A and B are shown apart, each in its own frame.
Chain A
């Protein structure tokens, strides 16, 4: 994919606050490229997912090729290349959570939201029609002592039962 071939619908640029954060970030590393992950996190926070425009912008800022940015974006599960819901619900399903019945929580969420589970290549599958929620499975969230756990955007919720899930969803 050469840079010219990318179809840019809406151009992207950091807003003022993120620009300030970015300027501070870039000073931390001896090479600009090293600021890749924090920069992509900033951009994703701003527009919700990594569009081709974001990749192009980040590539320019870090003085690397767009291909390199794409390379990184596709590697890490936390970067989305498609739109996601307003609330991203991550359900942990690794062994310690599985031993504490995370399946029940997952099934309950599926039923309640009326959606399937997103896969990394098909986020739309796990997104509700109103674009409010995206449901996905993730690996161990390093909270196995309070299993089963889910993350709703940045917040961790512990020791879940279907009732607690209802409560969390109602309070959003």
Chain B
């Protein structure tokens, strides 16, 4: 069985690790001191780039690359730590904040040193009252010990950290929504470009970084890039010629919930498969896996045919899903996918910020269609039409057969794709919340179409056995463009 490798979470359960003295006993702040003593700021930025660290907050964007976009000549520059953790199924940041906040502060210090940043805001979710209390206490201690404030430890650096509470809006996790919210406005995302790295909070360059991403920094500096890159796979990016390495390095705090025996956060090297993760989490609660959501509720669903998919950024992107925030939700054979989609669509309809028309109206519309289907009032036409699929010549096309027309399923797909088109990956909205809506809507419906159709036909929620609820990959368009990446070393 795959073994946990605790790095960020190694000392999480040490009593009083939230206090400076105990944290210090476990190498606390030594990595920051090493950074200052041994490296120039540029060296740190280069190490982060070479480590292949990718953002853990959702987008999976290379942290080193993001830092390189920040103009060096515009000051001040800000760091916003994204602790707004509200993606359903994600709960790893919470434990860091509640139990080991000094680790986050050390990560922030390293980032500030590398980027010449003097002010950091930690945007912490409003509901995290305990987390904020612990974090504020840790910040206070760090000030007292001279690790924050003016002239940090006699180095001439001035670094301030402030915590800033949110107030219950999911969209404030989106980086530009977060910035607007931090400025004291409604948390409505901004058009990009300009990207926050160039023009962010208070009109200045801003680095927005997730808690988990920042917590990786002490270990990259402390143990070196070589040590870090040994963990996790490095794939070949074959879009370039010759192929370039595409690192998925480091560990990930996988949050697993739903139908497993021991839900929780497991720190593992990136790149294990769904099946392996379920095993690590005490095995499935139930008989069979029906579906797995691999990266928070925004991610397209995986069926039991796809459980060999590796849970890392590249593999999941090529499988037409995403690792996102690393929140894995498992569903067993008793679950009804229509019902699950309804729950998720209620969430999105509630959380749309209301700026863009397709999202503001489309999301409740999608919810209403799913509600109608779940209530047993799904619409089906009495007519039929030619069926598309794998034709006799082995290509995708007209099969010569006919199929029933489920009007509500067509409508669902059409409305969702007009918020954001999942096939072309273009969105008609300001932020990618639009994709986060249409991805689940379209993927659940396409992959579990038999269950949706049965529910409409029968006029009530019908839970089909796992084998019948989804069509095999070779017959389903939803899987047609699925790829598995090759390891760079194998080329």
Contacts and interface: CB of A to CB of B under 8 A. Distances in A.
Interface string B77-106: 000000001111111011000000000000
A79 interface: yes
Contact of B351 (A36, A139, A141): A139
A53 B327 CA distance: 42
B337 to A, nearest CB: 11
Interface size class of A (residues with CB under 8 A): 35 or more
Contacts of A11: none
B168 interface: yes
A76 B168 contact: yes
B263 A147 contact: yes
B329 A96 contact: yes
A62 interface: yes
Given A37-B184, A78-B126, A94 B167 contact: no
B130 A99 contact: no
Contacts of B358: none
A165 interface: no
A71 interface: yes
Given A30-B202, A95-B88, A72 B168 contact: no
Contacts of B126: 37, 41, 76, 78
Contact of B89 (A35, A77, A140, A156): A140
Interface in B198-244: 202
Contacts of A37: 126, 164-167, 181, 184
Contact of A96 (B186, B187, B258): B258
B297 A95 contact: yes
Given A96-B258, A145-B264, A76 B86 contact: no
B129 interface: yes
A138 B162 contact: no
Contacts of B256: 145
Contact of B257 (A41, A147, A156): A147
B108 interface: no
B184 A33 contact: yes
A98 interface: yes
B87 A140 contact: yes
Contacts of A23: none
B5 interface: no
Interface string B349-360: 011010000000
A40 interface: yes
Contact of B329 (A76, A95, A141): A95
Contacts of A100: 258
Contact of A34 (B94, B184, B350): B184
Given A28-B162, A96-B89, A99-B259, 4 more contacts: A33-B185, A76-B168, A99-B331, A144-B257
5 contacts: A72-B185, A96-B258, A98-B343, A144-B91, A145-B257
The 4 tightest CB contacts between A and B, nearest first, are A36-B184, A76-B167, A144-B257, A78-B168
